[in-house]
Amino acid sequence: MRVEIVAVGTELLLGQIPDTNSQWLGERLAANGIPSYFHQHVGDNHQRIVLAFRTALARSDAMIVCGGLGPTQDDITRAALAEVMNVPLDRDEAIVSTIRSLFESRGRSMPDNNLLQADVPRGATIIPQTRGTAPGLICNVGLKVVYAVPGVPYEMTDMFERAVLPDLLRRQREAGETSVIRSRVLRTWGASESALAEAVADRFDELEKGGRVTIAFLASGIEGIKVRLTARGDDDDHALSMLVHEEEKVRALIEEKLGDIIFATDDQSMEDVVASQLSSRALTLAVAESLTGGLIASRLVNVPGASAWFRGGVVSYASQVKFDVLGVPEGPVVSGPAAEAMARGVRELLKSDIGLSVTGVAGPEEQDGQVPGTVFVGLSVGENLTHSALRLPGDRPRIRAYSAISALDVLRRALERPEYTRAK
Amino acid sequence: MRVEIVAVGTELLLGQIPDTNSQWLGERLAANGIPSYFHQHVGDNHQRIVLAFRTALARSDAMIVCGGLGPTQDDITRAALAEVMNVPLDRDEAIVSTIRSLFESRGRSMPDNNLLQADVPRGATIIPQTRGTAPGLICNVGLKVVYAVPGVPYEMTDMFERAVLPDLLRRQREAGETSVIRSRVLRTWGASESALAEAVADRFDELEKGGRVTIAFLASGIEGIKVRLTARGDDDDHALSMLVHEEEKVRALIEEKLGDIIFATDDQSMEDVVASQLSSRALTLAVAESLTGGLIASRLVNVPGASAWFRGGVVSYASQVKFDVLGVPEGPVVSGPAAEAMARGVRELLKSDIGLSVTGVAGPEEQDGQVPGTVFVGLSVGENLTHSALRLPGDRPRIRAYSAISALDVLRRALERPEYTRAK
Q: Touching check for B384 and chain A: CB below 8 Å?
A: no
β-strands B384-391, A144-149 pairing: unpaired
β-strands B285-289, B354-360 pairing: parallel
Query: What pLDDT was estimated at residue B424?
Result: 46
- Are the CB atoms for B67 and B9 separated by under 8 Å? yes
- Are the CB atoms for A293 and A317 separated by under 8 Å? yes
Cis peptide before A18 (omega within 30 of 0): no
3-state secondary structure of A376: strand
List, as ranges, residues 158-187 from A with C-beta within 8 Å of B: 183, 185
Phi/psi at A120 (nearest 5 deg)? -130, 130
- Are the CB atoms for A13 and A47 separated by under 8 Å? no
Mean pLDDT on B130-149: 93
What's the mean pLDDT when you consider all of chain B? 92
pLDDT in tens, B160-203: 999 999 999 999 888 887 777 788 999 999 887 778 888 888 88
Residue B37 CA to its chain's centroid (Å)? 24
Q: Which of B324, B326, B295 is nearest to B397 (CA)?
A: B295
Alpha carbon distance A372, A96 (integer Å): 66
Residue of B27, B52, B293 with shortest CB distance to A14: B27
Q: Touching check for B3 and chain A: CB below 8 Å?
A: no
Q: Touching check for A359 and chain B: CB below 8 Å?
A: no
Q: How many residues are there in chain B?
A: 424
| Contact flag A318-B41 (C-beta cutoff 8 Å) | no
pLDDT in tens, A344-356: 999 999 999 999 9
Alpha carbon distance B116, B91 (integer Å): 8
List, as ranges, residues 217-236 from A with C-beta within 8 Å of B: 217-221, 228, 230
A209 neighbourhood in chain B, CB within 8 Å: none
Residue of B13, B298, B400 with shortest CB distance to A293: B298
Identity of the amino acid at A78: R
Residue of A19, A23, A312 with shortest CB distance to B314: A312
Mutate to test the interface with B, among A16, A289, A292 (most CBs of B within 10 A): A16
Least trusted range by pLDDT, from A142-151, A344-353, B26-35, B259-268: B26-35
**In which band, very low, low, confident or very high, does the pLDDT at B268 lie, cut at 50, 70 and 90?**
very high
Residue ranges in A231-318 assigned as alpha helix (H): 236-258, 270-281, 295-300
Query: What pLDDT was estimated at residue A424?
Result: 45
pLDDT in tens, B55-90: 999 999 999 999 999 888 889 999 999 999 999 999
| Contact flag B315-A315 (C-beta cutoff 8 Å) | yes
Residue of B11, B152, B298 with shortest CB distance to A221: B152
Q: Touching check for A310 and chain B: CB below 8 Å?
A: yes
Query: What pLDDT was estimated at residue A214?
Result: 86
Asked if the model's pLDDT at residue B116 lies above 70, the reply is yes
A218 neighbourhood in chain B, CB within 8 Å: 9, 11, 16-17
A313 neighbourhood in chain B, CB within 8 Å: 294, 314-315, 317
**In which band, very low, low, confident or very high, does the pLDDT at B205 lie, cut at 50, 70 and 90?**
confident
Which residues are CB-contacts of A325 (< 8 A; sequence separation ≥ 6)? A314, A316, A345, A349, B312, B349, B350
Asked if the model's pLDDT at residue B112 lies above 90, the reply is no
| Contact flag B27-A12 (C-beta cutoff 8 Å) | no
Q: Touching check for B305 and chain A: CB below 8 Å?
A: no
| Contact flag B294-A291 (C-beta cutoff 8 Å) | no
| Contact flag A20-B22 (C-beta cutoff 8 Å) | no
Mutate to test the interface with B, among A317, A325, A392 (most CBs of B within 10 A): A317
| Contact flag A14-B30 (C-beta cutoff 8 Å) | yes
Complex ipTM value: 0.79
Which residues are CB-contacts of B14 (< 8 A; sequence separation ≥ 6)? A26, A27, A30, A183, A230
Q: Which of B76, B16, B67, B79 is nearest to B40 (CA)?
A: B67
**In which band, very low, low, confident or very high, does the pLDDT at B48 lie, cut at 50, 70 and 90?**
very high
Q: How many inter-chain contacts (A to B, CB under 8 Å) are there?
A: 265
Search chain B and give the residue with CA nearest A42. B38
**In which band, very low, low, confident or very high, does the pLDDT at B300 lie, cut at 50, 70 and 90?**
very high
Residue ranges in A60-131 assigned as alpha helix (H): 77-85, 93-105
What percent of chain B is modeled with pLDDT above 90?
68
Query: What are the 10-residue block averages of pLDDT along chain A, 424 residues in total?
Result: 94 87 92 90 94 97 94 86 96 93 83 87 94 91 95 91 95 83 91 90 83 81 86 88 95 96 94 97 97 97 93 96 96 96 98 97 90 97 93 90 97 86 52
Q: Which of A336, A177, A189 is nearest to A261 (CA)?
A: A189
Residue ranges in B70-135 assigned as alpha helix (H): 77-85, 93-105
Query: What pLDDT was estimated at residue B201?
Result: 85
Q: Touching check for B109 and chain A: CB below 8 Å?
A: no
Q: How far is A93 from chain B (nearest CA, A)?
A: 34
Query: What pLDDT was estimated at residue A421?
Result: 59
Identity of the amino acid at A335: S
Q: How far is B32 from chain A (nearest CA, A)?
A: 11
Degrees (nearest 5) of the Cα angle A413, A419, A422?
A: 105
- End-to-end C-alpha distance for chain A, whole angstroms: 60
Q: How far is B332 from chain A (nearest CA, A)?
A: 16
Q: Touching check for B55 and chain A: CB below 8 Å?
A: yes
Search chain A and give the residue with CA nearest B12. A23
- CATH numbers and ranges of domains, chain A: 3-174 (3.40.980.10), 180-265 (3.30.70.2860), 270-420 (3.90.950.20)
| Contact flag A289-B287 (C-beta cutoff 8 Å) | no
Q: Touching check for B40 and chain A: CB below 8 Å?
A: yes
